[in-house]
């Protein structure tokens, strides 16, 4: 396993940096931020994520270990591969992306190449509590949205089953709130 590579940037190709390490050139896919920071001839250290598949062996390099950690968290999200994870990191700095996830900013995440609404919502649902930020703004955004009752157990149950907060609200909208929670969930799942 390759953990880090230290060397000299010998080439910059589209979204890849070729890092010369003692005469061996490693092609590293990097974030737009790291790419713009690098110049040919610069000495650099990259934290490496190896992505090995039957048909390919890709290396992803990150100047900051924190960015690599966020990349790997994104890879843990259902249906998010390395290209999409890298695209999400290209929308801003790692702290900015963490903030967007913690705040539930689906629109900003959707601005990443190859990320649709469902993928952006999936990223928020799976990583909101794992990105290392405690966002009071995020909590206010959830509670303050019209039609979302943060105390609604049926809504929370639907969200835990994979519904987005908006979908859970829509599913429960026409169901009598006075019914028992279990009955409301059953009706929402049928509808």
Query: Selecting from 3.40.50.2300, 3.30.1330.10, 2.60.40.10, 2.40.50.140, what CATH number does the domain 1-63 have?
Result: 2.40.50.140
Listed in order, the ranges of the chain carrying CATH 1.10.8 are 145-190
65-141 classified as CATH 1.20.1250.20: no
What is the location of CATH 2.40.50.140 in the chain?
1-63
Q: Note the pLDDT tens digit of each residue in 140-173.
A: 333 333 343 434 677 777 776 777 777 777 888 8
The residue to which tokens 């790419």 are assigned: 35
Long-range contacts, 110-119 (Cβ 8 Å, 24+): 112/84, 112/87, 112/88, 113/87, 114/83, 114/84, 114/87, 115/84, 115/87, 115/88, 119/79, 119/80, 119/84
Question: Hey, what CATH class is 145-190 in?
Answer: mainly alpha
pLDDT at 149: 43
pLDDT digits (tens, 9 = 90+) for 78-105: 889 999 999 999 998 888 898 889 888 8
- State the pTM of this model: 0.66
């Amino acid at each position: 396993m390759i953990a880090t590579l230290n060397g000299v940037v010998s080439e910059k190709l589209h979204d890849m940096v070729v890092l010369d390490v003692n005469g061996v050139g490693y092609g590293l896919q990097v974030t737009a931020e790291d790419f713009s920071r690098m110049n040919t001839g610069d000495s650099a250290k990259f934290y490496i994520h190896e992505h090995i598949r039957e048909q390919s062996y890709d290396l992803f390099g990150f100047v900051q270990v924190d960015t690599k950690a966020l990349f790997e968290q994104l890879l843990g999200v259902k249906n998010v591969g390395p290209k999409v994870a890298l695209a999400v990191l290209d929308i801003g700095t790692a702290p900015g992306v963490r903030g967007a996830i913690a705040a539930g900013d689906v629109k900003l995440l959707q601005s990443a190449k190859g990320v649709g609404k469902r993928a952006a919502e999936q990223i928020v649902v799976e990583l909101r509590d794992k990105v290392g930020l405690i966002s009071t703004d995020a909590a206010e955004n959830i509670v303050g949205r019209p039609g979302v009752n943060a105390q609604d157990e049926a809504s929370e149950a639907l969200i835990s089953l994979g519904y987005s907060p908006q979908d859970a609200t829509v599913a429960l909208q026409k169901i009598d709130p006075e019914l028992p929670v279990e009955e409301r969930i059953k009706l929402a799942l049928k509808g």
